[in-house]
Amino acid sequence: MAQRKPEEKVTVDQLLKLVNQLSPEEQGKLRHKLDESWSAEWRALIKEVDEQNKDTQPLSEEEIMAEVKAAREEMKA
C-alpha cells in the first residue's frame, strides 16, 4: 500500500499573500464568509452561556461593586 505524503502546512504569511492576490470583489466575498462564520460561532456561544445561566439571577449593583473591589484587592496582593 502506498504511503500518503503528509499535508504541507500553510503559514499565515502564505495565506495573507494569497488573499492579497485576490481581486477586491473576491476579498469582499471572503470577508463576508468569515463574518458569517464568526457570527454563527458567536451566536452559538451566547446561546450556550444563556443556557448555562438560565436559572441564575442577575447581580445587583452592590454585588457587582463588591466583586470589582475584591478583584482589585486581589490584584494588589
Tell whether 40 is covered by a domain.
yes
Q: Does a structural domain hold residue 4? A: no
d(CA 43, CA 3): 42
Cell matching residue 3: 504511503
Question: Does some domain include residue 48?
Answer: yes
User: What's the pLDDT at 2?
Assistant: 62
The 10 Å Cβ neighbour count of residue 14 is 11
Span between the terminal Cα atoms of the chain, in Å: 63
Cell numbers for 52, please give them.
448555562
Going by pLDDT thresholds of 50, 70 and 90, the confidence category of residue 24 is: very high
Residue 29 placed within a domain: yes
Q: How many domains does the chain have?
A: 1
pLDDT in tens, 25-46: 999 999 999 999 999 999 999 9
20 within domain boundaries: yes
Domain extent at residue 42? 10-54
- pLDDT score, position 61: 96
Looking at residue 77, its pLDDT comes to 82
| pLDDT-based confidence at residue 20 (cuts at 50, 70, 90) | very high
Whether the predicted pLDDT of 70 surpasses 60: yes
